[in-house]
Chain A
Amino acid sequence: MATDTQAAVATAPGPGPRRRRGGIRSNENLAGWLFVTPVIAILGLFLLLPILMALWVSLTDWNGQGSPFTGDVPFVGAHNYTQLFTEDGLARRDFMTSIRNNIYYVTIVVPTQTVLALGLALIVNNRMLKGKSFFRSAFYFPSVTSSVAISVVFLFLFANSGAVNALLGVVGIDGPEWFADSRGVLHLLLGVVGVDSPPAALADGGPFGLTWWDWLAGPSVAMISIITLVVWTTSGTFMLMFLAGLQNVPVTLDEASTLDGASRWQRFRHVTLPLLRPTTFLVLTLGMIGSWQVFDQVYVMSQGDPAKTTLTPAYLSYRTAFRDFDYGSGAAISFVLFLIIIVLTVIQRRALAERDTDRPRRGWWRRRVPERS
């Protein structure tokens, strides 16, 4: 990664005797540690230590009473984890339901927000249009506002007599009761062709205690409204990343291919898109990392209802700990989620490291998106 190489360059002993002037540099060791102490203390206390403590709690049956670090708390070993994966029961069913919900959530949110963000960036990057900076801000504005406040607005938009249903009514569609409808959209589509109940093969078995029919439900109608909200709030951020990537596409390349007679689509497909590949990869992985963490919206809008179809691992871990007082299971769910996200992060870092060795990066403060392009 570029930052690592930069750090390496900065820490490498400088050439020549200039660096070794003991007089001025001698107290830097002490000062250096003093300067970083507050940050280390806070990050250590509230980031590192908690992870270790939670790892311990995930191996116990702590119910929130007293301290989890006394001998009175029953140690259960890996039981909280096996409960989630191998033992038949409510814990596994809820956990697997939340995993299913989140998989559908990721598979819809990530491609949609990426395509939308790229589309918006291409429009806003168009040299012929005026007033783009206004629209750029408009698209980005939802990303900076409070997720809770926005969720309140979308609760109203998707209310039974809300704006979305009013809009659907204009084109003659009778909108659903968004937050009361637990039907999966894939089930609904099958219903259209007359398949309303599962074929025997799908109704019986299935991995991890859910039937195949359940796994294949698709996101519920309620989940669709949360998905809409998230795509709407995150596209602006990713649009800015694509915009930064587009600024790196040399204009001459575009013009040369125009002269060669390439059509607009051909230029996009064979010139712009390949050059945007690092940005696209970044947007996709950041999107996935973010999508596995969806919490605020679920908390405010649905609390996992209806029929657990908006339950996500992040919300389930919170609910298990703070509502059912089963802190051990809650912490175990957190760790499984942690693992998923760490894997995604590592993939992303790897790919970025490869990209950065090709193109040494410049200082972060340098403007990559001019005010007027």
Chain B
Amino acid sequence: MAVLTDRPAAAPARRDERAARTLATRFLGYATLVFFGLVFLYPFVIQIGNSLKTEPDAAANPLSPFPDPLTLAGFERIFAGTNFPLWLGNSLLVTVLVTVGRVFFDSLAGYALARLRFRGRSGLFAAVIAVMAVPGVVLLIPKFLVLNQLGIYNSYAGLVVPLLADAAGVFIMKQFFESIPVSVEEAARIDGASIFRTFWSVVLPMAKPALITLTILSFQGSWNEFPHSLVSVQDPDLFTLPRGLADLVSGSLGSGTQYPLKLGAALLATIPVAIIFVVFQRYFVRDANDGSDKG
């Protein structure tokens, strides 16, 4: 640290003492880091290890990450004995549709709120902000009522359409579009491009960082979405992964606890998000910081 070097040289004895203390704190720091690292990651290690065990082995040595013997029986039963492939397909379909829809609709609205001057804009933006505060769980029954009334309860439409837009995404896009210099669009508009054309081929390509953030958040959000699928469909053919998993756990398997199978299915449901997280970490971090300001 610059400040330390500016000071008159300390007596060697004091310097030794300080060095020893620094070393001690550093050791303590690493020890704490490793301890919490284990606390936060070991459950996943246990999950992987136990999904490859036999049932008696998982019951006898739950803490050990090493299967003895190693078996893929749990995973074989996931694919042969459960509706896992169906849930996977449904989850993929819903996630892709929701993500594409959200990115498109949220950027359209975000652009309009940031750039286009139309009557009622500021009131509309205030409404979008207000909507962000509506807590999801109190909407469980209300959503069911609307889906029922619209006649799309128990259908893919019911699973997908209500998630196609989200207020937080609109907010993210609006904030980003405001950061782009107006002169860019004005040039395009003076050249005779329509508003949509300007938005689509000039502004949207410049918003790539925000689009990536929104894509990742939408993917993660809709892949993990559980309560909505709980109240929008009832037919087991329409279950998504989290719904199927919850069903599996609550005892649709019949006899035994079957932990290796359940842990394996949960693992398979986690892997896509885990990959996205590892590859795009900084976008997740960015979102969380954003949350502190979003209010």
Interface residues of A (CB under 8 A from B): 1-4, 6-8, 10-11, 19, 24-25, 27-33, 35-36, 38-40, 42-43, 45-51, 53-54, 57, 67-69, 120, 123-124, 126, 128-129, 131-132, 135-157, 159, 161-163, 166-167, 232, 236-237, 240-241, 243-245, 255, 258-259, 279, 282, 286, 289, 292-293, 295-296, 299-300, 303, 314, 317-318, 321-322, 327, 330-331, 334-335, 337-338, 341-342, 345, 348-349, 352, 356, 361, 363-365, 367-369, 371
Q: With A and B bound together, what is the CA distance between A50 and B25 in angstroms?
A: 55
* Chain B residues within an 8 Å CB radius of A335: 138
Q: With A and B bound together, what is the CA distance between A146 and B44 in angstroms?
A: 13
User: Is there contact, CB below 8 Å, between B60 and A144?
Assistant: no
* Chain A residues within an 8 Å CB radius of B164: 38, 42
Set B136, B146, B223: member contacting A293, Cβ < 8 A: B136
User: Is there contact, CB below 8 Å, between B274 and A29?
Assistant: no
Q: With A and B bound together, what is the CA distance between A301 and B230 in angstroms?
A: 15
Q: Known: A31-B195, A241-B292. Is A293-B141 also a contact (CB below 8 A)?
A: no
User: Distance in Å from the Cβ of B66 to the closest Cβ of chain A?
Assistant: 14
> In this complex, what residue of B is CB-closest to A149?
B266
> In this complex, what residue of A is CB-closest to B140?
A318
User: Distance in Å from the Cβ of B27 to the closest Cβ of chain A?
Assistant: 10
* Chain B residues within an 8 Å CB radius of A161: 59-60, 62
Q: With A and B bound together, what is the CA distance between A223 and B148 in angstroms?
A: 34
User: Is there contact, CB below 8 Å, between A369 and B285?
Assistant: yes
User: Is there contact, CB below 8 Å, between A39 and B137?
Assistant: no
- List of 5 A-B pairs having minimum Cβ-Cβ separation, nearest first: A32-B118, A50-B142, A35-B112, A32-B116, A240-B288
User: Is there contact, CB below 8 Å, between B62 and A159?
Assistant: yes
Listed by A's residue number, 19 A-B pairs whose Cβ atoms lie within 8 Å are A4-B126, A19-B117, A24-B186, A33-B112, A42-B165, A47-B134, A50-B146, A57-B145, A135-B36, A145-B274, A232-B43, A237-B288, A245-B292, A293-B138, A321-B140, A335-B138, A337-B135, A363-B179, A365-B209
* Chain A residues within an 8 Å CB radius of B246: 148, 299-300
Set A36, A49, A142: member contacting B124, Cβ < 8 A: A36
Q: Does B128 contact A (CB under 8 A)?
A: yes
Q: A35-B111, A128-B22, A166-B62 are in contact. List 14 more A-B contacts (CB 8 A).
A: A3-B295, A11-B122, A32-B118, A33-B118, A45-B146, A54-B142, A135-B33, A137-B277, A146-B223, A159-B62, A163-B62, A299-B230, A365-B175, A365-B179
Majority SS at the chain B contact face: helix
Give the size category of B's interface with A. Answer: 35 or more
Q: With A and B bound together, what is the CA distance between A286 and B290 in angstroms?
A: 13
> In this complex, what residue of B is CB-closest to A49?
B146
> In this complex, what residue of A is CB-closest to B42?
A163
Set B109, B126, B289: member contacting A35, Cβ < 8 A: B109
Set A39, A146, A334, A368: member contacting B109, Cβ < 8 A: A39
Q: Does B286 contact A (CB under 8 A)?
A: yes
User: Is there contact, CB below 8 Å, between B165 and A57?
Assistant: no
Set B32, B170, B178, B295: member contacting A123, Cβ < 8 A: B32
Set A29, A255, A296, A352: member contacting B295, Cβ < 8 A: A352
Q: With A and B bound together, what is the CA distance between A334 and B139 in angstroms?
A: 8
User: Distance in Å from the Cβ of A82 to the closest Cβ of chain B?
Assistant: 19
Q: Known: A53-B145, A152-B262. Is A140-B62 also a contact (CB below 8 A)?
A: no
> In this complex, what residue of B is CB-closest to A345?
B133
User: Distance in Å from the Cβ of A300 to the closest Cβ of chain B?
Assistant: 5
* Chain B residues within an 8 Å CB radius of A40: 109, 124
Q: Known: A31-B116, A67-B149, A255-B1. Is A144-B109 also a contact (CB below 8 A)?
A: no
Majority SS at the chain A contact face: helix
Q: Does B284 contact A (CB under 8 A)?
A: yes
Q: With A and B bound together, what is the CA distance between A148 and B273 in angstroms?
A: 13
Set B61, B178, B269: member contacting A6, Cβ < 8 A: B178
> In this complex, what residue of A is CB-closest to B122?
A11
User: Distance in Å from the Cβ of A178 to the closest Cβ of chain B?
Assistant: 13
Q: Does B189 contact A (CB under 8 A)?
A: yes
Q: With A and B bound together, what is the CA distance between A65 and B58 in angstroms?
A: 46
User: Distance in Å from the Cβ of A368 to the closest Cβ of chain B?
Assistant: 5
* Chain B residues within an 8 Å CB radius of A371: 282
Q: Known: A159-B62, A236-B40, A300-B249. Is A334-B140 also a contact (CB below 8 A)?
A: yes
Set B117, B149, B269: member contacting A32, Cβ < 8 A: B117
Q: Does B210 contact A (CB under 8 A)?
A: yes
Q: Does B233 contact A (CB under 8 A)?
A: no
User: Distance in Å from the Cβ of B20 to the closest Cβ of chain A?
Assistant: 14
User: Distance in Å from the Cβ of A24 to the closest Cβ of chain B?
Assistant: 5
Set A31, A330, A368: member contacting B289, Cβ < 8 A: A368
User: Distance in Å from the Cβ of A212 to the closest Cβ of chain B?
Assistant: 29
User: Distance in Å from the Cβ of B162 to the closest Cβ of chain A?
Assistant: 4
* Chain B residues within an 8 Å CB radius of A32: 112, 116-118, 121
Q: With A and B bound together, what is the CA distance between A318 and B142 in angstroms?
A: 11
Q: Which of B89-145 contact A (CB under 8 A)?
A: 105-106, 108-109, 111-114, 116-119, 121-122, 124-126, 128-129, 131, 133-145
Q: Kindly supply a per-residue 1/0 record for chain B positions 182-201, scoring 1 wherever the CB is within 8 Å of any chain A CB and 0 otherwise.
A: 00001001100001100100
Q: Kindly supply a per-residue 1/0 record for chain B positions 243-285, scoring 1 wherever the CB is within 8 Å of any chain A CB and 0 otherwise.
A: 0011001100000010100110111011001100110011011
Q: Known: A57-B145, A365-B176. Is A162-B112 also a contact (CB below 8 A)?
A: no
> In this complex, what residue of A is CB-closest to B105?
A38
Q: Does B293 contact A (CB under 8 A)?
A: yes
